[in-house]
């Protein structure tokens, strides 16, 4: 997985907040402060520095596709991204246009290096495009200042990643509350909502557990609960099952379906796995930084 590009460097080593490390609260507070308290940007930077296991997922049944509503919550127009490294230029996205409806469950698929993560990061405002535009919930996010973008992300988008990125020293309830702290939600309210979400994702009996006391699937459920804390209308997930066994991965996809059905959340996932992608309402396949027209085999 490549780095997201524009996230500012933290002042502490990335390893300090890895799922297994045990930093002091001050270390983590400093780490988050280096990102201006923007949890998602911090997570994106961590993600860029984490090893990949490449664990696989086995087939699960597809489900009937839903009709599209035409109420677009995400509109991407002629999106381009070129990474520049020394003298090298890598064209990661070469003009992508798409629309995603409110409450739709979309899977982004394609070969390694086809631009899936880049597209997800640009939709989530974690990186800046080289050209084109991304409109999310009526807001052209390319036109927002960094501070406004950070606030917008916190309120509008929940992020879920392959390696969970829970704070290792926080118990599940507090971990789930973290986005509410940055949104300055009243303590009592965010705690009650965290507890409701923990129940919703099936971890009601694990509230006092630290991440290291949970399984991979439980940690991913916890990360999903945390992503939902600010009631975002959109959930973006990059390889959310890539680090899980096939049965656990399937249960995570079912959880996304349930979240979409119960909360009306728009869910966009990146996955290598065509069987998991078939669970989504729609699959968008990328090849060499472009969308493959439907019916064409890439």
Nearest to 230 by CA among 170, 148, 151: 151
Residue 94 found at the interface with ligand ATP (CB under 6 A): no
Choice from 12, 117, 154, 176 touching ligand ATP (CB under 6 A) = 117
Choice from 12, 118, 173, 176 touching ligand ATP (CB under 6 A) = 118
Task: Decide whether 110 or 179 has the Cβ nearer to ligand ATP.
Answer: 110
Residue 132 found at the interface with ligand ATP (CB under 6 A): no
Choice from 15, 29, 90, 147 touching ligand ATP (CB under 6 A) = 90
Choice from 33, 66, 75, 83 touching ligand ATP (CB under 6 A) = 83
Task: Decide whether 206 or 290 has the Cβ nearer to ligand ATP.
Answer: 290
Task: Decide whether 92 or 280 has the Cβ nearer to ligand ATP.
Answer: 92
Q: Are strands 234-238 and 157-161 parallel, antiparallel or unpaired?
A: parallel
Whole-angstrom Cα distance, residue 244 to residue 256?
Answer: 15
Q: Which helix (H) or strand (E) is 237 found in, with range? A: strand 234-238
Choice from 85, 86, 296, 297 touching ligand ATP (CB under 6 A) = 85
Q: How far is the CB of 269 from ligand ATP (least distance, A)?
A: 12
Whole-angstrom Cα distance, residue 281 to residue 105?
Answer: 5
Task: Decide whether 173 or 220 has the Cβ nearer to ligand ATP.
Answer: 220
Whole-angstrom Cα distance, residue 123 to residue 98?
Answer: 11
For residue 65, the tally of other CB atoms under 10 A from its CB is: 12
DSSP 49: T
Encoded tokens for 42: 């911090």
Whole-angstrom Cα distance, residue 164 to residue 203?
Answer: 15
Residue 5 found at the interface with ligand ATP (CB under 6 A): yes
Encoded tokens for 97: 């246009």
Site string for ligand ATP, 215-254 (x = CB under 6 A): ----------------------------------------
Task: Decide whether 20 or 112 has the Cβ nearer to ligand ATP.
Answer: 112
Please check whether residue 164 is in contact with residue 220, taking contact to mean a CB–CB distance below 8 angstroms.
Answer: yes
Residue 116 found at the interface with ligand ATP (CB under 6 A): yes
Choice from 37, 95, 113, 233 touching ligand ATP (CB under 6 A) = 113
Please check whether residue 203 is in contact with residue 215, taking contact to mean a CB–CB distance below 8 angstroms.
Answer: no
Whole-angstrom Cα distance, residue 176 to residue 197?
Answer: 8
Residue 115 found at the interface with ligand ATP (CB under 6 A): yes
Footprint on this chain of ligand ATP (rule: CB under 6 A): 1-3, 5, 83, 85, 90, 92, 110, 112-118, 272
């Amino acid at each position: 997985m490549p780095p997201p590009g524009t996230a500012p460097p933290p002042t502490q080593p990335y390893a300090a907040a890895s799922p297994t490390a045990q930093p002091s609260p001050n270390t983590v507070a400093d780490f988050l402060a280096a990102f201006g308290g923007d949890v998602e940007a911090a997570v994106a930077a961590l993600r860029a520095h984490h090893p990949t296991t490449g664990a696989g997922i086995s087939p699960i049944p597809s489900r009937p596709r839903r009709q599209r509503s035409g109420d677009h919550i995400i509109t991407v127009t002629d999106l381009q991204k070129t990474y520049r490294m020394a003298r090298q230029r890598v064209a990661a996205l070469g003009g992508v246009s798409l629309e995603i409806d409110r409450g739709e469950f979309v899977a982004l698929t394609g070969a390694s290096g086809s631009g899936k993560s880049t597209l997800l990061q640009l939709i989530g405002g974690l990186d800046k495009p080289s050209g084109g535009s991304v409109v999310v919930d009526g807001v052209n996010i390319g036109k927002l200042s960094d501070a406004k973008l950070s606030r917008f992300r916190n309120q509008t988008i929940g992020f879920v990643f392959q390696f969970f990125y829970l704070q290792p020293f926080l118990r599940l309830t507090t971990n789930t509350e973290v986005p509410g702290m940055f949104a300055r939600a009243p303590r009592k309210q965010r705690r009650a909502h965290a507890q409701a979400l923990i129940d919703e994702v099936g971890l009601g009996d694990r509230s006092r557990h630290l991440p290291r006391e949970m399984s991979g699937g439980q940690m991913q459920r916890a990360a999903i609960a945390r992503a939902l804390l600010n009631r975002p209308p959109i959930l973006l997930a990059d390889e959310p099952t890539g680090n899980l066994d096939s049965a656990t991965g399937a249960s995570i996809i079912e959880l996304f379906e349930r979240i979409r059905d119960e909360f009306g959340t728009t869910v966009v996932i990146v996955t290598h796995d065509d069987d998991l992608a078939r669970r989504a309402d729609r699959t968008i396949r990328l090849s060499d930084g472009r969308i493959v027209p439907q019916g064409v085999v890439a």
